Chains A and B, each alone.
Chain A
Amino acid sequence: MKRFCKVVSVGLVSCALSLSALTSSADRSVKVLGWGAQSGPLKSFGVNSETALRSAVAEINAAGGVKLGDGSMAPIEVIGYEDSACKKDQNIAILRKTASTTDAIVGMGATCSGSCQAMFGVLQKKVGDSSDSGLQMPILADTCIRPGLAKISEWAFRNVPNEIAMYDALFAWLSQQHPDIKTFSGGTETDQGHSFITHTAVIVQAAIKHGFEWVGPAVPELGPKVKQGMKELQAAAKTQHWLMGDTNYTVQARKIKKQNPDMILVSSHPFSACGFLKEMKRQRVKPKLLVGLTSSASQETLNGCMKEAEGIIIPTGFAPITAEAQKANDIVGKAGGFLDLHSAAAWENAYLVKAAVEAAGITASSDSVDADRAKFRDALASITASDGLIGPVSRDTATGEASKPYVYVQVVDGQWKVIHDPRG
Chain B
Amino acid sequence: MDDFWYEFVEVTQTITDGLLFGSTYALIGIGFTLIFGAMGKLNMAYAGAALAGAYAGLAAFVLVKAPLVVVFGVSAVAAALLGYAIYFTCFRFIPTHNHLAALMASVGGLFFIDEVVVHVTRGSPLTFPSMFDDIYFEIGPFGIRGDLVFVFIIGLLSTGVLLYILFKTRLGLATRAVAQQDIAARLCGIGVHTTNSVTFAIAGVLGGIAGAMTAAAVGVLSPVMTVPLTVKGIIVAVLGGLGSIPGAIIAGLFIGGFENVFLYFRGIDERDMYVVALLFLFLVFRPNGLFGSTITRD
Q: Do A251 and B125 touch (CB < 8 A)? A: no
CA distance in complex: A277, B208 (Å)? 25
Q: For the complex, give the distance between the alpha carbons of A278 and B122 in Å.
A: 22
Chain A: minimal CB distance from B295 (Å): 31
Instruction: Indicate if the CB atoms of B127 and A43 lie closer than 8 Å.
Output: no
Q: How far is the CB of A179 from chain B (nearest CB, A)?
A: 32
Tell me which of A238, A274, A282 contacts B268 (CB under 8 A): A238
- For A28-40 the 0/1 string (1 means CB < 8 A from B) is 0000000000011
Asked whether A304 lies within 8 Å of B228 as measured between CB atoms, the reply is no
Neighbouring B residues of A248 by C-beta, 8 Å: 17-18, 21, 217-218, 256, 260
When chains A and B are docked, how far (Å) is the Cα of A44 from the Cα of B117?
12
A271 and B17: CB pair below 8 A?
no
Residues of B near A242 (CB, < 8 A) are 268
- Which of A44, A238, A250, A254 sits near B123, CB closer than 8 Å? A44
B 114-127 to A, binary, CB cutoff 8 A, 1 in contact else 0: 01001000111111
Question: Is B222 within 8 A of A250, CB to CB?
Answer: no
Q: Which residue of A lies closest to B135 (CB)?
A: A282
**Contact assessment for B269 and A190 in the assembled complex, using a CB-CB cutoff below 8 Å:** yes
On whether the beta carbons of B133 and A282 are closer than 8 Å, the reply is: yes
**Cβ A304 vs Cβ B126 within 8 A:** yes
**Interface assignment of A383: CB less than 8 Å from any CB of chain B:** no
- Chain B min CB distance to A142 (Å): 17
B67 in the interface, Cβ–Cβ < 8 Å?
A: no
Q: If the complex has contacts A190-B269, A245-B224, are A251 and B127 also in contact, measured as CB distance less than 8 A?
A: no
Tell me the residues in window 8-38 of chain B with beta carbons closer than 8 Å to chain A beta carbons. 10, 13-14, 17-18, 21, 24
Given the interface pairs A247-B217, A251-B264, the reply to whether A303 lies near B126 with Cβ below 8 Å is yes
Q: Which of B228-262 contact A (CB under 8 A)?
A: 228-229, 256, 260
What sequence of 0s and 1s flags, for each residue 169-186 of chain B, a beta carbon within 8 Å of any chain A beta carbon? Answer: 000000000000000000
Give the number of residue pairs across the A-B interface with Cβ within 8 Å: 115
| A:373-408 near B, CB below 8 Å | none
Q: Which of B124, B145, B263 has a CB less than 8 Å from the CB of A303?
A: B124
Min CB distance B52 to A, Å, is 16
B218:A275 contact, CB within 8 angstroms: yes
- Is B157 located at the chain interface by the 8 A CB criterion? no
Contacts of B264 on A, CB cut-off 8 Å? 239, 251
Q: Which residues of chain B (55-77) have a CB below 8 Å from chain A? A: none
User: How many residues on chain B are close to A (CB under 8 Å)?
Assistant: 42
- For the complex, give the distance between the alpha carbons of A254 and B225 in Å: 22
Q: Which of B265-279 contact A (CB under 8 A)?
A: 265-269, 272
Chain A 238-258 residues near chain B, CB threshold 8 A: 238-239, 241-248, 250-252, 254
Most chain A beta carbons < 10 A, residue from B18, B228, B256, B263 = B263
**A304 and B121 alpha carbons, distance in the complex (Å):** 12
B125 near A43 (CB under 8 angstroms)? no
Cβ contacts A152-189/B at 8 Å (1 or 0 each): 00000000000000000000000000000000000000
Q: Determine if A274 and B219 form an interchain contact, defined as CB atoms under 8 angstroms apart.
A: yes
| B272 nearest CB neighbor, chain A only | A243
CA distance A245 to B51 in the complex (A): 14
Task: For B260, list chain A residues within 8 Å (CB).
Answer: 248, 250-251
Q: Which residues of A contact B124 (CB under 8 A)?
A: 44, 270, 299-300, 303-304
Task: Verify A41–B223 contact, CB threshold 8 A.
Answer: yes
Q: Give residues of chain A (269-294) contacting chain B, Cβ–Cβ below 8 Å.
A: 270-271, 274-275, 278, 282-284
Residue B153 CB within 8 A of the other chain? no
User: CA separation between A361 and B272, bound complex, in Å?
Assistant: 55
Q: Given the complex of chains A and B, what is the CA–CA distance between A278 and B115 in angstroms? A: 27
Within 8 A of B (CB), among A26-70: 39-44, 47-48
Can you name the residue of chain A whose Cβ is closest to the Cβ of B222?
Answer: A271
Residues of A within 8 A of B10 (CB): 254
B160-201 residues at the A interface, CB under 8 angstroms: none
B228 touches A247 (CB 8 A): yes
Tell whether, in the assembled complex, residue B126 and residue A283 are in contact, meaning their CB atoms are under 8 Å apart: no
Known: A251-B260, A254-B10, A305-B127. A275 touches B268 (CB 8 A): no
B122 touches A47 (CB 8 A): yes
A306 to B264, CA, bound (A): 29
Chain B nearest CB from A274 CB (Å) reads 5
Query: What string of 1s and 0s marks CB contacts (under 8 Å) between A204-245 and chain B?
Result: 000000000000000000000000000000000011011111
Residues of B within 8 A of A251 (CB): 14, 17, 260, 263-264
Let me know if B267 and A270 touch, CB within 8 A. no
- Chain B residue numbers with a CB within 8 Å of A275 are 218-220
* A246, B228: Cβ atoms closer than 8 Å: yes
| Residues on B with beta carbons closer than 8 Å to the beta carbon of A303 | 124-127
Is the Cβ of A44 less than 8 Å from the Cβ of B225?
Answer: no
By beta carbon, the residue of chain A nearest B127 is A304
Distance in angstroms between the alpha carbons of A300 and B265 in the assembled complex: 32
Residue pair A241, B268 in contact (C-beta under 8 Å): yes
CB of B87, distance to nearest CB on chain A (Å): 26
Complex: chain A residue closest to B17, CB-CB:
A250
Q: List 16 A-B contacts (CB under 8 A).
A: A43-B123, A44-B122, A47-B122, A238-B267, A238-B269, A239-B266, A241-B267, A244-B224, A245-B227, A247-B218, A248-B260, A251-B264, A254-B13, A274-B127, A274-B219, A275-B219
Q: Report A's interface with B, CB cutoff 8 A.
A: 39-44, 47-48, 190, 238-239, 241-248, 250-252, 254, 270-271, 274-275, 278, 282-284, 299-300, 303-306, 308, 336-337
